[in-house]
Amino acid sequence: MNERDRNSGHVEAFRNLFCNSPKMTEDNSNSNDHPAERDEDMSPYRKPAASVISFKLIYSKDDLQSRKVIHFRPEMSHQVFGEDETIFGYRTLSITINYLHNSSRCFVDVLKEGILKSTPMPQLDDIMKCLEPWLPEKFTTEKEEFLKMIENERHDNMYGALLSEFKDKQECKVFPNQKVFADYKICICDMKNEEFKEFHKRFETYIVWFIDAANFIDLDDERWMLYYVYEEFQHPETKATYRTPVGYCSVYKFFAYPNNIRTRISQFFILPSHQRRGIGSSSTRPWLGI
């Protein structure tokens, strides 16, 4: 074999080793999906939390199915579902957090379909595990249990001593177009009342969805003061009195040298369903001395 034939043999061997395996190279490159393509494939399973979560104020059993019930969506959810505020793993998802209008006892109704079962992507979000730290104590996910709560609900309960009141100029949302106008009552609450403290723990769970970096106050700290706003109206047919807590203000008493106390507003929250009705400006006057 001459030198030329020997070199030709080396070239052919080189081709057989490295160049005649195009499928192997292609398969290797395709064995790992491109991140952008993979993320696009998963996009139907990523839901913005604010678009799939809704809150309802429940006055009666019929409200669970009614589309006319007072409802609203959260403004934020990063403390519950992370900085991207999305829920992953469900093609169809609906989360309804139902609050009894007076006691704020809670029923969580989660409807989900098209659950992603196998994927190399991050695991599915455990919805209830994410929600539970931010829900009222003794919440339920059972409709029948919540129906019993509705039966036992006191519609006219109100905590605290009345400071002032004013009449709403807009019609009550619970009974639209029926000329029902509510009164708003501002009360200062007794921080030693254990029943009130349990109620406040339930109601304050709203704030994580509407106040950035919200946290729950220490109700055993005597320096806290709580003011509540109640909506009061009469049922147009039964004439029964209904009272609904629609917001609160927490005020902290600081020591001011040499021997004084200075108060400072910490949190001020009005339910989205009752905003833009003049409640905030009218409610601050009693505790600001205006």
Tokens read off for 201 = 């723990």
Nearest Cα to Cα of residue 90 among 126, 138, 61, 133: 126
For residues 117 and 97, state if they share a domain.
yes
Give pLDDT tens digits for 82-127.
999 999 999 999 999 999 999 999 999 999 999 887 656 568 899 9
228 pLDDT above the threshold of 60 = yes
Based on the structure, what is the number of domains in the chain? 3
Tell me what the mean pLDDT of segment 175-199 comes to: 95
CATH number for the domain that contains residue 169: 3.40.630.30
Domain boundary residue among 89, 117, 151? 151
Q: Of 229 and 67, which is predicted with more confidence?
A: 229
Instruction: Answer with the residue of higher pLDDT: 64 or 4.
Output: 64
Domain that holds residue 20: 3-32
Residue where a domain terminates, one of 151, 174, 200 = 151
223 band by pLDDT with thresholds 50, 70 and 90: very high
The distance from CA 151 to its chain's CA centroid, rounded to whole angstroms, is 25
Give every CB contact of residue 195 below 8 A, 6+ residues apart in sequence: 159
pLDDT for position 34:
40
Q: Which two tokens stand for residue 39?
A: 């993320």
125 and 96 in a common domain: yes
Q: For the whole prediction, is pTM greater than 0.95?
A: no
